[in-house]
Chain A
């Protein structure tokens, strides 16, 4: 059965992925403020997505948060996780880049503030770790993060966002570096700091963490041709204060990330 959607609205060069309603709302609001169209399309095979059309030099499609039994599905695993969606959408739309947009945690409340934007030059999949019993019969366990090697983001996208970062004129700071990514919802300063201290160092400083980015590693056809980049606003610091701040901070964090990405696309017109 032919698909009743204009062919050019089924393809793009850039996908924007969001995982939560707050992230989608922020993207819609920012796009609308900038006069960027946001057409909701219902595709028989891909489900619902938004067609933004030409933004700068890219053709952009934004995914919608996925729901199952009325609840938003977050994270990277499972058939509705970011890994599966990244593969399906990139193959179906021909996209050469995917930006995972939304909110993340920061790692240094002394240097970073809520609302600052993080850009992944690389991702560190911290769940790729070995957990062994403590040596010499001691109680407890030790975690070996040596296998959690950094994976490089798509250089074209990182450079795009670096160019936008130096343009300035914004109220939030932009950090480009390594982002920890995994399945845990972290509410512990000690665990956060264990991750920062334990994962292998790379060329990029660790700047924060998220949950969905690691799924996009699967969407790249090869390690040498990554397709993704993560751009997220800091909504919390993955510590004991997380729940107290996130209800207020998630909106601005998501808006800042969306504004940063859309500005990068518009301002980078060749």
Chain B
């Protein structure tokens, strides 16, 4: 009889969903329920402070239950893996903006806010993304230094940012099954939201500074 570790190496089982909520939701979906996600983000004068995930379950197309919890990056990643879409494009855009923030967090911690902003803005400006109206409007009001290209950090920082964005496109197309055009539209809108928050564009407009 092979040892446990040897079996794990030879034939690794699929990892269990880590969060108990995800295991519960997965069981419900497996037994025939459907779920859609809605985000509730009450606006405050100082920007959003709390995001709630609201999961609408249906059994045989009949509304069954509503589960609400605090936004959690891991829960969201698990819901994407369970192929749970958002109820509408507004929620999907907001969800993927938060997903981008989660994906970029490691990069900002490793390279610092200033360097990260520089590389991010450069990447966006050199791509076709900057021609999309929503992104162009944000980038117009964003400022960052030119990134320092001579050090060891420039290339890995660029790669990590690009991976964070392409990873979200993978989720939209391959996990949630959106057609390419719709996936692109969602990601462009999400990236515009993320950039807006990153460079405080709407906050500054609200304060009458732009």
Residues of A that sit less than 8 Å from B by CB: 3, 7-8, 10-11, 13-14, 45, 54, 56-59, 87, 91-94, 96-97, 155-156, 159-160, 221-222, 268-270
Contacts and interface: CB of A to CB of B under 8 A. Distances in A.
Interface string B15-47: 000000000000000000000000000000011
A58 B109 contact: no
Contacts of A58: 112-114
Contacts of B174: none
Nearest to B73: A224
B3 interface: no
Interface residues of B, number: 31
A221 B112 contact: no
Nearest to A90: B200
A270 B143 contact: no
Given A91-B203, A221-B46, A221-B48, A270 B108 contact: no
A57 B47 contact: no
22 contacts: A10-B209, A11-B143, A13-B144, A45-B208, A57-B112, A57-B114, A57-B148, A59-B143, A91-B204, A91-B207, A92-B203, A92-B204, A92-B209, A94-B204, A96-B108, A96-B113, A156-B113, A159-B109, A221-B49, A269-B148, A270-B153, A270-B154
Nearest to B199: A94
Contact of B47 (A8, A91, A155, A269): A91
B151 interface: yes
B114 A56 contact: yes
B176 interface: no
A89 B47 CA distance: 14
A58 B118 CA distance: 9
B145 A270 contact: no
Interface of B: 46-50, 108-109, 111-115, 117-118, 141, 143-145, 148, 151-154, 157, 199-200, 203-204, 207-209
A125 B1 CA distance: 58
A156 B208 CA distance: 30
A87 B118 contact: no
B203 to A, nearest CB: 5
A270 B144 contact: no
B200 A57 contact: no
B143 A87 contact: no
| Most chain A beta carbons < 10 A, residue from B108, B141, B145, B152 | B145
A14 B145 CA distance: 13
A160 B47 contact: no
B200 A93 contact: yes
B33 to A, nearest CB: 30
Contacts of A87: 46
A156 B108 contact: yes
B209 A59 contact: no
